[in-house]
Amino acid sequence: MKKLIVLLLAGIAAIPFFSCSEDKAEEPMLIIKFKFDENQARLNNLGQPAVIPAGNAAQTPVFNSISSHYIELAPNANTQIGQGTILYHAPETNLGGSDAIDFSKSKIVAEEETFLKIPLSQIAAGSYEWMRVSLSYQNYQINIRHQNVDYTGTLASFVGFNTYITTFNIGNNIFPVNGNRAQGYWAFALNNQPYSASGQAPANATTVPNPIAATSPIPAGSCVVTGRFANNLVISGNETSDVVVTLSLSINQSFEWQEVNVDGKYEPSAGENVVDMGLRGLIPSYVR
């Protein structure tokens, strides 16, 4: 009898245990990722093709990562900012005096890495034509020239409306800020070389493409890039599978400076100043 009880207990122990949570499949999600496209059209603030202004030069950076401050779905071109379906709003703080993005709490992702994942059941049912994305931070590789020698370096670019920064680093280079920085603040460090610098692009110089500016403008100084779906994103509320949205950003010659030596090379030691770090267009797409 004792032997039988032992065998029964052993048999029970061998039966797989499934909790209720394991039985329940995860509900369908909206997943948002970023893509960086060097061949996408280079646009101006009105979403029209843009050339590099006389006296300036630009290069296409190699992106490492990015962050967003705000993401919204808009049903049509007349939907004012804030009146669509807001999917994401990053933490803000007034520790720097005025309201600002809290950089210490920003989510920073690489290309194709999930930036946002929320249940589709939390999104208002509807047909959405436009996507708005307020970008706040970029990290990428650029080429510079110093005393006729070419180097590669890493640039941290803060393009949000206002960002509260404590301390951040680029490699072994530490940048203590402990305050707010307006749109256009940047910091740079050479890769494997003991050189770093920081600066501020001119106010309102950051390009923010918005093809529907005539009917749905964005606030001055913001970085709300607007793009149109090729086919409206329809949320029924009855989805049974994930919807993955890819935000393709144009990085086509998105790093721009004012030339001193007219050679197409960025030479900060020659007094060449950064004038524009704005993304050059947004094309949203989705798969189900």
pLDDT at residue 193, as a whole number: 85
Distances (CA, A) of 155 to 14, 194, 204, 217: 56, 15, 20, 29
Range of 207's domain? 2-287
Q: Give me the DSSP letters along 34-68.
A: EEEETTS--B-TTSSB-PPPTTEEEE--EEEEEEE
pLDDT at residue 25, as a whole number: 62
pLDDT at residue 194, as a whole number: 85
Q: Are 113 and 33 in contact (CB under 8 A)?
A: yes
Q: Which two tokens stand for residue 185?
A: 């603040």
Q: Which two tokens stand for residue 189?
A: 């460090």
Q: Which two tokens stand for residue 223?
A: 């970085």
pLDDT per residue of the chain (288 residues) written in tens, 0 to 9: 434 333 333 443 444 444 444 445 689 999 999 999 999 999 999 999 999 999 999 999 999 999 999 999 999 999 999 999 999 999 999 999 999 999 999 999 999 999 999 999 999 999 999 999 999 999 999 999 988 999 999 999 999 999 999 999 999 999 999 999 999 999 999 998 888 999 999 999 999 999 999 999 999 889 999 999 999 999 999 999 999 999 999 999 999 999 999 999 999 889 999 999 999 999 999 999
pTM: 0.89
Structural domains of the chain, count: 1
pLDDT at residue 182, as a whole number: 97
pLDDT at residue 185, as a whole number: 97
Sign of CA dihedral 213, 111, 33, 65: negative
pLDDT at residue 231, as a whole number: 98
